[in-house]
């Protein structure tokens, strides 16, 4: 390593500059940084909004026949008192309805979710003995934002003239659900709307009294018919197995229609005599999904639809999963078309996340370009090139560290980058400006160029370090902002300080290194070098 002889650096800035000035590994390091940054950008999970860890859950205790006031007194109040014993609970919401008591528990934002869920479950289980008579087993459902919020929803509907029925459509969507659930990292899937197949036995009250029957008898008769029994293992005399089983008596709707419910005046009464028995859909279900979509200029009529919703595992990439889902749907298209079924993507968070990320990335690139152009005017194109190089290097380091610490790329992370852009070119600008000033100073001719580089970097080291430290200090308290908003903007205090430290290191290592190779002393009194070009006098640019 070639040392600068006369100048002894005092600050870490100068020391870094001197160490890396002639190190052959410096360009390798630079390329390496850019590569890991790019890789991080590609493999980090993308989301639109940062994940907010919300811990909490819902406890549902059904108690048939109880009035709201009873539920409040014997279920909600005791349960709430018990929940109050758990540490870290912020709010408890109790809802006492007829037949059911619900208690929602919200932990303070930022509480460890796994532990909080476990505590909640524990507390309920420990106090099962306090449950009043007549109350049913409590249900404990923890919130899980990651899997509860679907990233893709697809609406399936029958096109006009479709041959299949509503129940067939539901069957089809169930099948699609099973297929899409196979995709890696797809977690919770659910279906909204649609009609399940059901045998409807609609009893005519008038006929019932005509035959002198009660509803109870009919229910008894149906229950007796619909029995499933396991196979029976019979044995032969010589110890071999003979397996036989009773066939389910209900094979088709006919079997139900021809069920004998009673005898009347010696002749059998079939179920079909007193009720309309049809194979149809669940008529008692009032939950429906309707949709209308644009078809050219006009909208289609409001028609029934079935919504399939797909969630993802925490920390997985919404963009990749959404793309894969779309690919699978494409493959299914011919089959759907044949059956006269249309589908429409009604939510695509993958695309939204990708759009948001790409938009911000392009903003970052444009901003870098604008700053580069500005620097050409004020400092010269070589200096501008050097500063411009430092930006991707700094962002690469920051991205890589964000990746290591398990963050995702989202609106707020990128926003932290945008915010730091204006700040992180500063270190490089200050270094390059000082180098520039020294190169154009009167005594520059007599000095070794290496020495100038190291000295110029070292000189502004101390105030720049302090100033950068000051900016970092302003960011630190932001990490302690509480509540949802604090969680939401967490990427800012997490990433901006990292970017600022990286900007210092990069400015001290690469700016002198690149300066040594790109910048030359301006042509002055002596003709040391014939290849010196005329430099534009940048002094005129400012003020």
Partner 1 sequence: MKRFESFVFNILGSNTKQWLVIGATLAALAGSIMMLPTKLVLAKMLPGKSANTFSIYIHTPTDSSIEETRRVGECVVGLLQKEPEITDVEVYLGQGAPLDYAGMVKGSGFKNSENEAEIVVNLTDKHEREEPSFMMVHRLRPVIKGNCEPLKNGTVIEMVEQPAGPPTLAAVVAEIYGENYDHIYALSQKVAEIFKKTEGLADINIMADDPYKKFELVPNSDKISRSGLSVEQVNKILYLAFEGMVVAPKNSRNYPDQIGLFVRLSDKTRRLANSSRRALETKLASLKLMNKKGMLVPISELVEIVEIDAPPTLMQKDLRRMINVTAEADLVSQVYPLLDAREKIMDELSKEYEITTTDYLFNLRLKDRKSGEVFDLRWDGEMKVTLDTFRDLGAAFIAALILIFLLLVVYYKNFTISGIVLAGSFLSIIGVIVGHWVADVVTEHTFFLTATSLIGFIALMGISSRNSLLLIDFAKALMEEKGFDKQHAIAVASATRAKPIMLTAIAIILGSALLASDPIFGGLGVALISGTVAAVVVSLIFIPVLMYRAKAMDFKKEE
Contact positions with partner 1 (CB under 8 A) in 451-470: 460, 462-464, 466-470
**Sign of the C-alpha dihedral computed for residues 297, 300, 306 and 307 taken in this order:** positive
Q: Minimum CB separation from partner 1 for residue 421, in Å?
A: 5
Q: According to CB under 8 A, which residues from 497 to 536 bind partner 1?
A: none
* Contacting range for partner 1; rule: CB under 8 A; set: 76-84, 113-121, 315-323, 526-534: 76-84
Question: Looking at 44, 275, 341, 506, which residue binds partner 1 (CB under 8 A)?
Answer: 275
Residue 313 as a binder of partner 1 (CB under 8 A): the answer is no
For residue 370 the two structure tokens come to 């604008």
Q: Minimum CB separation from partner 1 for residue 439, in Å?
A: 15
Question: Looking at 299, 327, 517, 528, which residue binds partner 1 (CB under 8 A)?
Answer: 299
* Ramachandran region, residue 195 (left: φ > 0; alpha: ψ -120 to 50; beta: rest): beta
Residue 283 as a binder of partner 1 (CB under 8 A): the answer is yes
- For residue 312, the SS3 value is strand
* Contacting range for partner 1; rule: CB under 8 A; set: 119-127, 236-244, 293-301, 316-324: 293-301
* Contacting range for partner 1; rule: CB under 8 A; set: 10-18, 89-97, 123-131, 395-403: 89-97
- For residue 389, the SS3 value is helix
Residue 292 as a binder of partner 1 (CB under 8 A): the answer is yes
Q: Which is nearer to partner 1, 26 or 167 (CB)?
A: 167
Residue 51 as a binder of partner 1 (CB under 8 A): the answer is no
Residue 136 as a binder of partner 1 (CB under 8 A): the answer is no
Residue 288 as a binder of partner 1 (CB under 8 A): the answer is yes
Residue 86 as a binder of partner 1 (CB under 8 A): the answer is no
Q: Which candidate, 408, 414, 350, places its Cα nearest to that of 50? A: 408
Question: Looking at 36, 121, 183, 197, which residue binds partner 1 (CB under 8 A)?
Answer: 197
Contacts 24+ apart (CB under 8 A), 292-297: 293/344
- For residue 539, the SS3 value is helix
Going along 422-469, which residue ranges are E strands? none
Q: Where are the alpha helices (DSSP H) in 22-112?
A: 25-43, 68-71, 77-83
Q: Site for partner 1 (CB under 8 A): how many residues?
A: 142
Q: Which is nearer to partner 1, 52 or 449 (CB)?
A: 52
Question: Looking at 12, 52, 314, 361, which residue binds partner 1 (CB under 8 A)?
Answer: 52
DSSP 260: E
Residue 539 as a binder of partner 1 (CB under 8 A): the answer is yes
CA distance 87 to 359: 42
Question: Looking at 1, 128, 229, 302, which residue binds partner 1 (CB under 8 A)?
Answer: 302
**Does residue 166 contact residue 290 with C-beta atoms inside 8 Å?**
no
**Cβ atoms within 10 Å, residue 284:** 7
Contacts of 192 (CB under 8 A, 6+ apart): 287, 289, 306, 307, 309
Residue 99 as a binder of partner 1 (CB under 8 A): the answer is no
* Ramachandran region, residue 340 (left: φ > 0; alpha: ψ -120 to 50; beta: rest): left
**Does residue 170 contact residue 285 with C-beta atoms inside 8 Å?**
no
Contacts of 61 (CB under 8 A, 6+ apart): 75, 79, 100, 101, 102, 103, 131, 135, 136, 138, 139
Residue 94 as a binder of partner 1 (CB under 8 A): the answer is yes
Q: According to CB under 8 A, which residues from 384 to 443 bind partner 1?
A: 411, 415, 418-419, 421-423, 425-426, 429-430, 433
Q: Which is nearer to partner 1, 31 or 473 (CB)?
A: 473
* Contacting range for partner 1; rule: CB under 8 A; set: 124-132, 203-211, 333-341, 396-404: 203-211
CA distance 393 to 383: 16
Q: Which is nearer to partner 1, 20 or 351 (CB)?
A: 351
Residue 203 as a binder of partner 1 (CB under 8 A): the answer is yes
Q: According to CB under 8 A, which residues from 341 to 380 bind partner 1?
A: 344, 346-347, 352, 363, 366-367, 370-371, 374-375, 378-379
Residue 144 as a binder of partner 1 (CB under 8 A): the answer is no
Q: According to CB under 8 A, which residues from 318 to 337 bind partner 1?
A: none
């Amino acid at each position: 390593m070639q040392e600068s002889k006369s100048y002894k650096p005092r600050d870490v800035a100068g020391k870094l500059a001197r160490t890396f000035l002639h190190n052959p590994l410096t360009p390798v390091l630079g390329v390496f940084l850019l590569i890991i940054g790019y890789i991080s950008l590609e493999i980090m999970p993308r989301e639109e909004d940062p994940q907010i860890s919300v811990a909490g859950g819902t406890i549902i205790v059904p108690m048939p026949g109880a009035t709201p006031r009873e539920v409040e007194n014997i279920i909600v109040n005791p349960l709430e008192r018990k929940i109050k014993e758990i540490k870290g609970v912020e709010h408890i919401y109790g809802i006492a309805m007829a037949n059911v008591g619900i208690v929602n528990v919200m932990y303070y934002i930022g509480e460890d979710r796994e532990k909080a869920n476990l505590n909640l479950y524990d507390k309920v289980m420990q106090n099962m003995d306090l449950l009043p008579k007549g109350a049913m087993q409590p249900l404990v459902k923890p919130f899980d934002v990651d899997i509860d919020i679907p990233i893709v929803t697809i609406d399936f509907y029958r096109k006009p003239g479709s041959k299949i029925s509503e129940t067939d459509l539901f069957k089809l969507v169930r099948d699609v659900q099973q297929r899409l659930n196979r995709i890696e990292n797809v977690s919770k899937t659910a279906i909204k709307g649609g009609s399940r197949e059901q045998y409807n036995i609609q009893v005519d009250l008038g006929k019932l009294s005509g035959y002198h029957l009660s509803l109870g008898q009919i229910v008894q008769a149906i229950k007796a018919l619909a029995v499933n029994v396991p196979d029976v293992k019979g044995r032969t005399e010589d110890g071999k197995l003979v397996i036989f089983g009773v066939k389910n008596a209900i094979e088709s709707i006919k079997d139900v229609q021809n069920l004998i419910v009673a005898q009347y005046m010696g002749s059998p009464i079939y179920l079909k005599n007193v009720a309309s028995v049809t194979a149809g859909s669940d008529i008692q279900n009032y939950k429906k999904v309707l949709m209308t979509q644009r078809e050219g200029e006009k909208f289609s009529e409001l028609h029934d639809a079935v919504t399939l919703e797909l969630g993802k595992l925490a920390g997985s990439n919404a963009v990749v999963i959404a793309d894969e889902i779309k690919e699978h749907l494409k493959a299914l298209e011919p089959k759907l078309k044949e059956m006269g079924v249309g589908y429409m993507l009604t939510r695509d968070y993958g695309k939204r996340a990708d759009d948001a990320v790409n938009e911000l990335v392009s903003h970052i690139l444009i901003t870098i370009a604008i700053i580069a152009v500005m620097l050409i005017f004020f400092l010269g194109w070589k200096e501008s090139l050097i500063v411009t190089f430092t930006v991707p290097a700094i962002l690469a380091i920051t991205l890589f560290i964000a990746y290591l610490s398990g963050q995702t790329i989202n609106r707020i992370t990128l926003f932290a980058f945008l915010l730091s852009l204006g700040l992180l070119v500063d270190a490089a600008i200050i270094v390059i400006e000082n180098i520039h000033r020294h190169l154009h100073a009167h005594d520059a001719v007599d000095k070794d160029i290496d020495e100038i580089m190291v000295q110029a970097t070292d000189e502004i080291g101390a105030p720049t370090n302090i100033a950068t430290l000051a900016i970092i200090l302003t960011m630190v308290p932001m990490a302690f902002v509480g509540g949802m908003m604090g969680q939401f903007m967490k990427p800012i205090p997490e990433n901006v300080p990292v970017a600022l430290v990286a900007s210092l290191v990069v400015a001290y290592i690469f700016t002198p290194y690149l300066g040594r190779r790109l910048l030359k002393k301006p042509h002055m009194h002596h003709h040391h070098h014939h290849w010196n070009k005329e430099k534009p006098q940048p002094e005129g640019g400012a003020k």
